[in-house]
Structure 1
Amino acid sequence: MSDPHLPSDTEILFSRILHAPRELVWEAWTNPVHVAQWWGPRGFTTTTKRHEFRVGGYWEHTMQGPDGTNYPNKSKFLEIVPQERITYLLGGGSDLEGDERRGTTFRATWTFEAVASDRTRLTGRMVFPSKEARDRVVRDFGAVEGGKQTLERAAEYTAGLQTKPFVISREFAAPRDLVWRVWTEPEHFSQWFGPKGFKIKLARFDLQPGGMTHYSMVMPEGKVLWGRAVYREIAAPAKLVWLNSFSDEAGGIAPHPLTKDPWPLQMLTTIVFTEQAGKTTVTIHWVPFDSTAAERATFEAGRGSMAMGWTGTLDQLTAYLSLNP
């Protein structure tokens, strides 16, 4: 007997526990306004043309890849069990059943399992007409990695729905390419990053998706702290996304070393770079990731200290850029 939790040779299965209640995950999946913010692999955008969320209704949307290629999708909802399950048939043409017989589409079932009051296992299972059809989608469209990235983006988006992000911006009298370089080249990054007065030493700098920057921070009084950034998205020269944490010397995640309050173990950090008239605005979004209610409360109470820390960091960046025209 086959294991229902493992995919067969005609299926693709991906699953992730989101640190969000089931009703919130359901809303993020079923509301096209929310879906547009996280659906698809990193770098993709989604535009919905029609969304009839009922059995027999259609969802038409276009996914655009980072290279500008458009991927039209048309789905027919076959089953909807509120907050539990959604099944649809997806294809590129108007005759979905005909597409399925030709092996150019699949049936997808998404399940929403509450594993705790604030944890939801979101699972997507795509069933193809044949192993060959499944293999073609994996080979030609990177469906396995795409599904993984989609669920990562869902986790990031639902984190932002539960906590108002901390946002800070600064305009720099420097072109975007230069500002991007000082964020992404280790010889520059170590000279200015971190709170004012801290000295940064890089133990590792691996600028690629999944790569990690690991660094020590020496406080003015000599105490040594460790931090790390694990990169999620790198879109030169416009956007950086990483998960920021306090760390130990070995590179593991560690709790905040300067407080007993439950500070979030991971912070989703998004840095956006925009340029106008030769000047660059850097906007930083910070939000707790995979957090508990207590961690989010500590985050909310700490906005003043966050503003102070990031202001000092950006002051140091301003001074550094003035020396590197």
Structure 2
Amino acid sequence: MESPEIAITRTVHAPRQRVWDMFTQAEHIQHWWGPNGFTNTISAMDVRVGGLWRYVMHGPAGADGSPGTDYTNWIRYAELEAPARMAYAHGGDDPEHAEFHAEVTLQDLGDSTTQVTLRLLLASAEQRAQLVEFGAVQGGEQTLARLDAYVSATPDAQCFAIGHSFPAPLAQVWQAWSEPARFAQWWGPAGCAVQVKKMDFRSGGETHYAMAWPGVPPMWGKFVYGQIVPQQSIEFINSFSNEAGDITRAPFFDDWPLRVFNTVTFSEQAGQTTISLRGGPIQATEAERSRFAGHFDSMTQGFGGTFAQLEAYLLRKE
């Protein structure tokens, strides 16, 4: 008699190798692993046979504002057959945490799509019933849906990256990114004035803004936010737009990507905050990806000026 299992399958809109990367790189899996509303803190991820992945899943806050539950997990890799299959043991540090074996298989369907199958291989029908009652099926389906959404909105070309450290505490830097009146004081190239028409700073929300120079028509842009982890990270898709908020082509190149996916991470040490920005085009043509990659120097200069304005704003006495 075969062992009881829970099997969940989803077609993901990305090539198999990219999906494999999503499972094996901490910078990616932290953003989509787990059911809706969960976030992850990864302390170790050693992707090799016998290697250990340790992470804490943070449950969503309660409706009354109470903090969510933290779940300490570990995964030990048993088999790795890149980019097609992995098997692992899963457990947790608390005594009641269910331990089980699992495997993930990736089947190349062609046309840049991959069938992902997640199987939980369980010790007994009783354990299966307990996990189903706990919500393992729904949670697994939500996890693979989050994977699909994340990989569809993650750069598939060479990424631009830049960092900067600010002589200000993390809370102050976070306010500058998340509050419209503060954001307008520093965002954009040096010398422009920014008007924030709308800022809905939440996952799924948008910021719509205009940048203006004397004697020149305003240049509109918008952010569409992905996952936001307070005082840790912000994901957003940045685009040029018109005054109505519709996405438009860049005014300077016809082949500039319509959408650029960005991740900004924040960390603080001794009262100083460091941010790292990483971004790249999504749903882009080869010409758009090439255009983007060819302007890293100018983007470094542009973001350098923007971050210099942010530093100057943080140093002002309000």
TM-score (norm 1): 0.71
Preserved CA contact (<8 Å) 1:267 1:289: yes
Alignment of 1:206 with 2:204, yes or no, is no
Alpha carbons of 1:36 and 1:177: their partners in 2 closer, same or farther (altered >3 Å)? closer
Q: Which residue of 1 aligns with 2:42?
A: 45
Preserved CA contact (<8 Å) 1:36 1:46: no
Q: Which moved more, 1:61-70 or 1:180-189?
A: 61-70
Q: Which moved more, 1:121-130 or 1:200-209?
A: 121-130
Q: Which moved more, 1:243-252 or 1:62-71?
A: 62-71
Q: Tell me, which stretches of 5 or more residues in structure 2 are unaligned?
A: 1-5, 59-68, 93-97
2:135 maps to a residue whose letter is V
Preserved CA contact (<8 Å) 1:197 1:220: no
Q: Which residue of 1 aligns with 2:189?
A: 195
Alpha carbons of 1:26 and 1:17: their partners in 2 closer, same or farther (altered >3 Å)? closer
TM superposition shift of 1:112: 2.4
TM superposition shift of 1:246: 1.3
CA distance in 2, matches of 1:87, 1:283: 31
2:73 maps to a residue whose letter is Y
Alpha carbons of 1:213 and 1:107: their partners in 2 closer, same or farther (altered >3 Å)? same
Q: Which residue of 2 aligns with 1:16?
A: 12
CA distance in 1, matches of 2:208, 2:317: 24
Preserved CA contact (<8 Å) 2:234 2:265: yes
1:69 maps to a residue whose letter is Y
Alpha carbons of 1:224 and 1:147: their partners in 2 closer, same or farther (altered >3 Å)? same
Superposition CA RMSD, Å = 3.6
Q: Which residue of 2 aligns with 1:113?
A: 109
Alpha carbons of 1:298 and 1:266: their partners in 2 closer, same or farther (altered >3 Å)? same
Q: Which residue of 2 aligns with 1:167?
A: 161
CA distance in 1, matches of 2:227, 2:11: 20
Q: Which residue of 2 aligns with 1:3?
A: none
CA distance in 2, matches of 1:269, 1:235: 14
Q: Which residue of 2 aligns with 1:4?
A: none
Q: Which moved more, 1:242-251 or 1:124-133?
A: 124-133
Alpha carbons of 1:186 and 1:73: their partners in 2 closer, same or farther (altered >3 Å)? same
Q: Which residue of 2 aligns with 1:72?
A: 74
2:27 maps to a residue whose letter is Q
Preserved CA contact (<8 Å) 1:107 1:127: yes
Give matches, 1:234-253, under 5 Å.
234-253=228-247
Preserved CA contact (<8 Å) 1:263 1:295: yes
Alignment of 1:215 with 2:217, yes or no, is no
Preserved CA contact (<8 Å) 1:207 1:213: yes
Aligned-partner SS, 2:214: coil
Alpha carbons of 1:241 and 1:92: their partners in 2 closer, same or farther (altered >3 Å)? same
2:18 maps to a residue whose letter is V
Preserved CA contact (<8 Å) 2:43 2:55: yes
1:144 maps to a residue whose letter is E
TM superposition shift of 1:189: 0.9
Q: Tell me, which stretches of 5 or more residues in structure 1 are unaligned?
A: 1-9, 53-57, 94-98
CA distance in 2, matches of 1:279, 1:229: 26
CA distance in 1, matches of 2:200, 2:241: 16
Alpha carbons of 1:237 and 1:133: their partners in 2 closer, same or farther (altered >3 Å)? closer
Preserved CA contact (<8 Å) 1:245 1:254: yes
Give matches, 1:265-304, under 5 Å.
265-304=258-297
CA distance in 1, matches of 2:271, 2:22: 40
**Equivalent position to 2:300, from 300, 303, 307:** 307
**Equivalent position to 2:315, from 307, 317, 322:** 322
Percent identical:
26
2:298 maps to a residue whose letter is S
CA distance in 1, matches of 2:47, 2:304: 44
Alpha carbons of 1:61 and 1:283: their partners in 2 closer, same or farther (altered >3 Å)? closer
Q: Which residue of 1 aligns with 2:253?
A: 259
Aligned-partner SS, 1:202: strand
Q: Which residue of 2 aligns with 1:96?
A: none
TM superposition shift of 1:185: 1.0
